[in-house]
Structure formats: structure tokens, C-alpha cells
Chains A and B, each alone.
Chain A
Amino acid sequence: MIKFLLKCVLLIGFGSAIAATKPEDIKQFTLKNGMTILVVEDHSIPNANMYLFWKVGSRNEVPGITGLSHFFEHMMFNGAKKYGPKQFDRVMEANGGANNAYTTENLTVYTNWFPADSIEKMFDLEADRIQNLAIDEKMVESERGVVTSERSTGLENSNVRMLMEEVKGSAFRAHPYGWSVIGHQSDIDSWSLKDLKDFHRTYYAPNNALVVISGDVTLKQVKRLAKKYWEPIPAQQEPQKVRTVEPEQKGERRVYVQKPSASSANIMFAYHVPETSHEDYYPLEMLANILGNGDSSRLSRSLIDEQQLATSVFTYFPRAFDPNLFYVYAVAAKDVDAKKLEKALIKEINKVIRDGVEAKELAKEKNSAQVDFYRTLSTINGKSNTLGTYALFFGDHKKMFSAVQDMGAVTAEDIKRVASAYLRKANRTVGILDSAEDSQEEDL
């Protein structure tokens, strides 16, 4: 019966015109325990998702427990009261669902994707691990091995990962953004059961979460299930604020990483920039794209195409609750000296500071933002992930819908201003990864 019904929904879904999601299609409600839930009804496929955004990431850690947020992302799958070890995944998959999770400096996000008719099971599974996670000692030990493998495979396979860890560590000397999300190996080896229990109680409280559900569901159904499964979970005291403010950087910092198997130099620049809710966010994001996003970007055109000094370049400007970094990355072409590439990068950045950007570059960014917005709206996952991101980093999910307009308001002058304000030498950390030993010959 249900299967038959599903098929009908499916056929109707494809046959009729489905309109793109509008701001008024997003429904929001808050449970008595403070848990906020956004719902997007989208019947284009007979599936739905559930994105749980927990406001905890590596910025909430302290020395000794670095990497614990990410470790928790793993532990949340290792058994609770009703659903014991392995049961979360087994029950979910047997119900046609799949899941994943990711941790950043700011957030831990759990993602469930499932046939819409399994939705009640998803609420049940989540309620169990939110309220009654069993932190079993044996599981903790085995999971340390898994995370250690994850850490080392990242370092083994990715120069970016290896270099970034060092650059962040140098760019921040006070704020927790200084350590990598995966944490120090010594902390992974040694955090205690008590550390884990405290962490779960503090951060996995319903009042510290935002949930977005998109897909073939109804608001009424979601409300009923949320009340039944999640509202009984008690709220906790608000977690402590992150107090540390990174002191101003007074001059360029440099790090060098030797990796014998590197075949050419990798360079990373990191500049301190404000938090995402700051008014300079969009000018900086557009600057990041103009510099390093795609073949037509300035760095790509100049360093890869014209001068052939690099084989790849990109910029990375992550969203953040606290002031964080604006990254520029380049991989040198064979036999190109790191110094030469570094100079060429700086020259391009300085051009923006000196001459600003062209009107057509601005127009390009605005047009791309519009098309990308539609790409986001074309999947239920794009909707959930992006709505959650805007709600948390910009303070309101509706900002997702005005993003294109907000970018439209940015002027060439704004971009020149932020480039001059932030992409300065004194505000920069330079990291170089290469195969040679950091030789002391010149010192002697």
C-alpha cells in the first residue's frame, strides 16, 4: 500500500511543474526545550533529509581535548540506550536510510537521508543518541584507532591538510582556531571518559541545536514527531562563550614544512579577517572568488595560464563565528622556486589593493551567485545545508534568499577597501611545503 502510494507521488512529482523554494515556503518552530526546527516541504522526490547542526566545533575545545568535537562526531554513532552499539547505522540502513556527519571549526553537523516514509524512525534514532548516548570505554578505544587512521590518511594524501595545520597554528597563538579540527595526536590518544561525558552533556543539549528537514514531508507531521520524540529531552545550561580574542598580528609569520615526497613547492597564505556576520563578509567573499575561483580568476589566469608558475591555485574563505582566516593556495609547477611563486602571488594581490577590480569582474560574481543559488535550490540537501548555514552564520535563514541581492550591493570600492585592509603583509602568515630539508647551510 505504501509503496504504491510512493510511486504515485513520484509520478505526479515529475509530471507537474514544481516551483523553486521561496522564503515563505520555509517554516520554523521552536520546541519548549529550545530546539529550533526548520521545515521545507519539497515533494520532487519521495525522499527527505534531516540536518542537525550542533553549535560545537574545534573552537569550543581547549588544549588537552583538541579534536574532541570531531571525535564526538564519531562517538554519536557508537550506541545509546534503546539502540545499542552499531544499531544506529544498522537500523537506519535497514530502513533505507543513509547518514554522514562533518565537523568544522564552528559546527558539528549530522546528516540523515532517507525514504520519506521512514521519517519517524529517524526521530527515534536521533532522540536516543541525543538524550542517552552510552559512552562505552571499549568503543572509545576502537574509535581512537579510526580517528588516528583518518588523521594520518589526511596527512599522507593531502599537502593542503599538512600545510594548513602548521599555518593555522602559527596564525593563531591564542584563539582555538589555531589547532586543526582533527586535533593533536596526543590528545586523541589520551582524552578521558569524563572529558567525553562532560562534552556531550554541555554541547548536545536541544537548546544548542538547529535542525533542518527538507523533502517529502509535511509541517504537521514534523511538528507531531518533534514534539513526541525531541521535546521531552531536557534543555541544559548555555555552554560557555568562547572568550579568547586573537591579539592583533604585528608582522608577517612564516612556517616551513618538509615533506620528502613533495614533487614541487606548495604555498599557503593566511590573512586574519573578521567573522561571517561582519559587514565585510560579502566583499571578502567576492574578492576570494575574483582572485582564485575558476579559470577566469586573476590568480589562475596570471600564474597558471600566463606565467606558468603554478599548476593549481585557489582561495578559501570559510564561514566562521569568530574572526578567522582568508587563505590563498598555490602549487608550484615543476622546477619553479617557491620564492618566485610567492612573489608572483603577492604581486597579483597587491594589484587589487592598488587598482581595485573591474566592473565586469563584479558583474561576473553577481551573475554566478544567481545561478549558484538555483543550483543550491535544486536538491533537498542543498536546501537543508544552506538554510542551516545562513541561519547560524548570518543570524537568519532568510538571508539565504537575499544573498544574491546582498552581493549586488557590493561595490568595486568595497572590494578594494577590504583587500587593502586585510591582505596586508603584517597580517599574513606564509606557509611553504617542499621536499628539501629546511637547511641551515646559510646560517653557518
Chain B
Amino acid sequence: MKLVKRIIGASLALLSLSSMAAFKIPVYEKYKLDNGLEVYLMQQTEVPLIDISLTIKAGAIHDEKSYGLANLTGESLMFGSGKLSKTEIEDKLAFHGAELYSSTGMESSDLSMSIAAKDQKEMLKLLQSIVLKPKFDKDEFDKFKKRLSNQLIQRRESPRNVIGSVFGKMYYGEHPYGNPVIGDLKSIEKVKLDDVKSFYSKYYTPNNAAIIVVGDFEKKSMKKQIAKLFSNWKGQAPKAKVLPLVNPKTDSNVWIINKEDATETTFMIGGKGINSSHPDYVAAEVINTILGGRFTSWLNDELRVNSGLTYGARSGFSDHSVAGSFAISTFTKTRTTFEAVDLALKTYEKLWEKGIDAETLASAKAYVKGQFPPDFETSGQLAALLSRMWVLGLDDSFINDFEAKVDSLNVESANKLAKKLFPRENLQFVLVGKALEIKEKAKNYGKIKQMDIDKFTY
């Protein structure tokens, strides 16, 4: 059993905080098939492996009220295709040491495959069959739905697992970004196989997809294989969904999620953030590095190092295309709940009151730049990067201008941007813990709403 010193970057899943710095994106080729499918090819030859990402712009924001529909659709692709059953697909992948994951996020779904270069022909064919010829087996679908409901119930045993989706729901409300990606116990119950089939027909089309291949392959032959396998894919997805604006918050709310046997309180505090293509996103990341994005950050320093209140405290921005949120997250034993909440708030206020000094800024700039290259070391990481850039509409400058953007930040601009990009008023609070012991004091922070952890449905 491993115990790890830090949890920065490892938990409280709502936040995405990739550190990015001085690095140029490796050379890749990009083209489009006649049916609209975008193809990205990037060669990496250190090891004889290939990573493939087949990404579809269909995520939880397309669920409408059927929370979890996009996720169920992505999972359903794995239930058999062409002549192969679900278990035959699994066996075939495992026999070749291949990995295939179906994952669904807020704005996209992704099938990512990691294979030995020598198996490319067979595995690409399998991937094609999974995406283009799903069987949507009814028995497998029912079995999966049952298991998923079970897992949603089990998730509620761990505050860390649920707090991110609760915060998302609280902050975004009825806005699509508030949709729980995995789904909701009630809505999953209602989703029928026909709903999945129609979601699939609507969104799984070549003009709504990209195939990204990174690794050890021969370009000419890869192009040929892709053309052969995917040129006949037909269909037209509807125009991209235009998301509404997020209603600004005009007061502070406190959601208490009661867990009877809790010995600690897990909490998030946050508010309005920025979208991923925001011109100041890089600046926001550097400033957040100072506030809550690394071990010596203000939050971790105060709440962990100076006071011993917690094992870790952090903060970060969400990673969405048109709007975003920001949150601070940590946990502490029940008795010190408000000591920790107050210290987090006080530390956060430093952004406005004391501001960032030159030495701290220089350190944060060196840190984000220094920690950048290892994020894009493997074929799998690079495939995920290209997939993310495609979904969020980011071009190469997202990577290539990173260093310049980091470097251009000075004390004056950093302090000005900190005040502009981070939310100060109308903060929202989620506290997961023993309600009986924390409810009274929690009232001081905003309007209270209380739920039981074993009752809510997502």
C-alpha cells in the first residue's frame, strides 16, 4: 500500500489544473476526409506503441434532461459490434495487451486506445467496428445500467467522489454545465436503449468527430488505413449547440451534504471562473499556481504546513469551452471545519489585500514552465492534448505561445488580473460532513440547503 505525501492534482475531480509551460507542440499533420472526419497524425518513435483517440463532440451538455445519456451511449459502444460480442471484444483487446477506454466528459466523448505498433491493422479495424457498427445489445445494456446505478450509490460513500458534481450542480444550476456527467439515479433508470440509439445517430457522425493517431507508425500506410476504414462513415450532426450564458450569482449559498458517520468535513468554496480559450487563461493558471496550484501555494502553506489542519488544500479553474468556474477545495476533521473555512477565505483574500510579490511570481513562472514538458511526453498524453484542443477549439498557439504568455506577466499585470479573474463576491459553499455539528455555524456563510449523502441521486 502506498501513501503519498501530496494530493495536489490528484483529487476533487471538478478542477482541471494542467500546468503548461515553455514547449512547442511536436510536428503533426492534420487533414479532413470528404465526409468531414478530421484526422490528426503525429509520429513518435521512442517505443513501438500507438495511441489513438476517437473523439466525438457529444458530452453531458447534450444530455438535455436525460442526465447520463452521453455517458451511457459511449459505454454502449463497448457492448458488441459487427460479429463480435462484448466479451469477445474484451478478450481480443486483452490478448493483444491493448487498452481501450470509453470516456465521456462535459463536452465530448472519447474512445482512446493504446496498442502495440505491430497490431495496428487488426486493432484499428476493431476500433472502426466498435464506433461504426455497434450492436447495442439489450441484455448488456440492462446489465450495465444496473451496475451503473449500483456504482452511483457506492460513490456516495466517499465525499471526495461526489463533492465535484455537487459543486457543479450548485454553481451552474440548470445550465448544461451543471449536468452530472455519469448521470443521475433517476434519469438513468428512465434512459431506454432507443434513447441511446438516437443519441448515437444524432452525434456519432464523421463531421462531428476527429481521429487522432500518435506514435510509431508509417504515415503513408496509416493514411491509407484510415481512408479505408472511415471514408464510408456517413451522417451529419446538427450544428454545434450554442450554450446559454451562466446566470451570475447574486447571493451566497451553502449546501450541506450530511454524512452521518463522517469524521471530517470535505469542502469546496468557489464561484465564477473563465473559459478555457479566455485570453487570460494562462495568466489565471500562473496566479492560481501561487494561490492553490502547487505544494508551496498560499492555501496549502496555510492550511497544511502552518496549521496542520489538513493533508492538502488547493484551488483551480474548470476546463470548459464557453464559461467556467473556480473553486478552492480541502478537508479537515469535523471539529476544525470553520477554522479551516475561515483560514481558506482569509488566505484567498490575500489576492486582493496583499497581492503577489515579485519573488513569488518569478517562482510560479519557473514552476509552470519547468513542469510542462513531462505532461506531453508520451503518445497517449499527446493524443489527449490534440483531442482536447480540437474539442475546445484551441489552436497550436495554446501550447506554442505559452512560454511567451507566462513570461509577459509582471507583478503589476498579475495583480490586476488576479482581481479581475478570480471571484470575490457571492461565493458558493459545499460542505460534506456531519450536518448536526456544522449546520449552525454554516449559516454565517450564506443561505443553507441540506441534503443527505445517501439520498441525493447523482
Please indicate the chain B residues that have their CB under 8 angstroms from the CB of A296 in the complex. 87, 90-91, 93-95
* Alpha-carbon gap, A89 to B296, bound state (A): 7
* Alpha-carbon gap, A10 to B403, bound state (A): 14
Q: B143 to A103, Cβ gap below 8 A?
A: no
Task: Digitize A28-53: 1 where CB-to-B-CB distance is under 8 Å, 0 elsewhere.
Answer: 00000000000000001111000000
Q: B264 to A149, Cβ gap below 8 A?
A: yes
Given contacts A86-B305, A145-B309, A261-B157, whether A150 and B98 have CB atoms under 8 Å apart is no
Q: Does B24 contact A (CB under 8 A)?
A: yes
From 298 to 326 in chain B, residues with beta carbon under 8 angstroms from any chain A beta carbon are: 301, 304-311
Of residues B150, B160, B378, which shows the largest number of chain A Cβ atoms within 10 Å of its Cβ? B150
Chain B residue nearest to A115 (CB atoms) is: B370
Chain B residue nearest to A165 (CB atoms) is: B1
Please indicate the chain B residues that have their CB under 8 angstroms from the CB of A259 in the complex. 157, 261
Q: B310 to A149, Cβ gap below 8 A?
A: yes
Expressed in whole angstroms, the minimum distance between the Cβ of A293 and any Cβ of chain B is 9
Q: Does B454 contact A (CB under 8 A)?
A: yes
Q: Does B154 contact A (CB under 8 A)?
A: yes
Q: Does A409 contact B (CB under 8 A)?
A: no
* Alpha-carbon gap, A333 to B304, bound state (A): 37
Task: Digitize A85-105: 1 where CB-to-B-CB distance is under 8 Å, 0 elsewhere.
Answer: 010011001111111111111
Q: Does B294 contact A (CB under 8 A)?
A: yes
Q: A141 to B261, Cβ gap below 8 A?
A: no
Chain B residue nearest to A78 (CB atoms) is: B305
Q: B47 to A93, Cβ gap below 8 A?
A: no
From 144 to 158 in chain A, residues with beta carbon under 8 angstroms from any chain B beta carbon are: 144-150, 152-158
Q: A17 to B45, Cβ gap below 8 A?
A: yes
Expressed in whole angstroms, the minimum distance between the Cβ of A269 and any Cβ of chain B is 16
Please indicate the chain B residues that have their CB under 8 angstroms from the CB of A118 in the complex. 370
Chain B residue nearest to A49 (CB atoms) is: B374
Q: Does A181 contact B (CB under 8 A)?
A: yes
Q: Does B284 contact A (CB under 8 A)?
A: no
**Size range of the interface on B?**
35 or more
Expressed in whole angstroms, the minimum distance between the Cβ of A60 and any Cβ of chain B is 15
Q: Does B126 contact A (CB under 8 A)?
A: no
Chain B residue nearest to A327 (CB atoms) is: B1
Binds A, one of B196-204, B361-369, B421-429, B435-443: B361-369
Q: A101 to B4, Cβ gap below 8 A?
A: yes
Task: Digitize A193-215: 1 where CB-to-B-CB distance is under 8 Å, 0 elsewhere.
Answer: 00000000000000000000000
From 256 to 275 in chain B, residues with beta carbon under 8 angstroms from any chain A beta carbon are: 259-264, 266
Q: B296 to A44, Cβ gap below 8 A?
A: no
Q: A378 to B304, Cβ gap below 8 A?
A: no
* Alpha-carbon gap, A95 to B296, bound state (A): 13
Q: Does A370 contact B (CB under 8 A)?
A: yes
From 98 to 151 in chain A, residues with beta carbon under 8 angstroms from any chain B beta carbon are: 98-105, 113-115, 118, 141-150
Q: B367 to A260, Cβ gap below 8 A?
A: no
Of residues B4, B48, B453, which shows the largest number of chain A Cβ atoms within 10 Å of its Cβ? B4
Expressed in whole angstroms, the minimum distance between the Cβ of A25 and any Cβ of chain B is 12
Q: B304 to A146, Cβ gap below 8 A?
A: yes
Please indicate the chain A residues that have their CB under 8 angstroms from the CB of B57 in the complex. none
Chain B residue nearest to A377 (CB atoms) is: B47
Please indicate the chain B residues that have their CB under 8 angstroms from the CB of A102 in the complex. 2-5
Chain B residue nearest to A105 (CB atoms) is: B1
Please indicate the chain A residues that have their CB under 8 angstroms from the CB of B266 in the complex. 153, 156
Q: A261 to B306, Cβ gap below 8 A?
A: no
Q: B94 to A333, Cβ gap below 8 A?
A: no
Of B310, B359, B377, the contact of A45 (CB 8 Å cutoff): B377
* Alpha-carbon gap, A89 to B363, bound state (A): 11
* Alpha-carbon gap, A52 to B358, bound state (A): 33
Please indicate the chain A residues that have their CB under 8 angstroms from the CB of B378 in the complex. 378-379
Q: B367 to A375, Cβ gap below 8 A?
A: no
* Alpha-carbon gap, A182 to B1, bound state (A): 10
Q: Does A70 contact B (CB under 8 A)?
A: yes
Q: B379 to A378, Cβ gap below 8 A?
A: yes
Q: A11 to B95, Cβ gap below 8 A?
A: no
Q: A367 to B95, Cβ gap below 8 A?
A: yes
Please indicate the chain B residues that have their CB under 8 angstroms from the CB of A150 in the complex. 3, 311
From 6 to 27 in chain A, residues with beta carbon under 8 angstroms from any chain B beta carbon are: 6-7, 10-11, 14-15, 17-20
Q: Does A184 contact B (CB under 8 A)?
A: no
Please indicate the chain B residues that have their CB under 8 angstroms from the CB of A74 in the complex. 5
Please indicate the chain B residues that have their CB under 8 angstroms from the CB of A379 in the complex. 374, 377-378
Q: A113 to B5, Cβ gap below 8 A?
A: no
Expressed in whole angstroms, the minimum distance between the Cβ of B443 and any Cβ of chain A is 24
* Alpha-carbon gap, A155 to B304, bound state (A): 19
From 279 to 335 in chain A, residues with beta carbon under 8 angstroms from any chain B beta carbon are: 294-296, 301, 304-305, 308, 311-312, 318, 331, 333-334
Q: A261 to B454, Cβ gap below 8 A?
A: yes
* Alpha-carbon gap, A70 to B146, bound state (A): 40
Q: B370 to A97, Cβ gap below 8 A?
A: yes
From 31 to 79 in chain B, residues with beta carbon under 8 angstroms from any chain A beta carbon are: 45-49
Q: Does A170 contact B (CB under 8 A)?
A: no
Q: Does A426 contact B (CB under 8 A)?
A: no
Q: Does B135 contact A (CB under 8 A)?
A: no
Please indicate the chain A residues that have their CB under 8 angstroms from the CB of B367 in the complex. 93-94, 96-98
Of B2, B307, B359, B366, the contact of A145 (CB 8 Å cutoff): B307
Please indicate the chain B residues that have their CB under 8 angstroms from the CB of A262 in the complex. 157
From 46 to 76 in chain A, residues with beta carbon under 8 angstroms from any chain B beta carbon are: 46-47, 70, 73-74
Given contacts A73-B5, A181-B1, A371-B97, whether A152 and B374 have CB atoms under 8 Å apart is no
Chain A residue nearest to B365 (CB atoms) is: A96
* Alpha-carbon gap, A168 to B386, bound state (A): 44
B residues contacting A by CB (< 8 A) are 1-6, 22-24, 26-27, 45-49, 86-87, 90-91, 93-98, 114-116, 143, 146-147, 149-151, 153-154, 156-161, 259-264, 266, 294-296, 301, 304-311, 331-333, 359, 362-364, 366-367, 369-371, 373-374, 377-379, 453-454
| A-B pairs with beta carbons under 8 Å apart, 21 shown | A18-B45, A19-B46, A97-B367, A103-B3, A114-B370, A149-B264, A149-B311, A156-B263, A182-B3, A261-B261, A264-B154, A294-B94, A295-B90, A296-B87, A304-B147, A305-B86, A311-B147, A369-B97, A371-B116, A378-B49, A379-B377
A residues contacting B by CB (< 8 A) are 3, 6-7, 10-11, 14-15, 17-20, 44-47, 70, 73-74, 77, 86, 89-90, 93-105, 113-115, 118, 141-150, 152-159, 161, 164, 180-182, 259-264, 294-296, 301, 304-305, 308, 311-312, 318, 331, 333-334, 360, 363-364, 367-372, 374-375, 377-381
The 7 closest A-B pairs by CB, nearest first: A96-B370, A145-B308, A371-B97, A94-B363, A368-B97, A296-B94, A150-B311
Task: List 10 extra interface pairs beyond A47-B374, A103-B3, A311-B147, CB under 8 A.
Answer: A3-B22, A46-B373, A96-B369, A100-B5, A104-B1, A113-B371, A143-B308, A152-B333, A181-B1, A370-B116
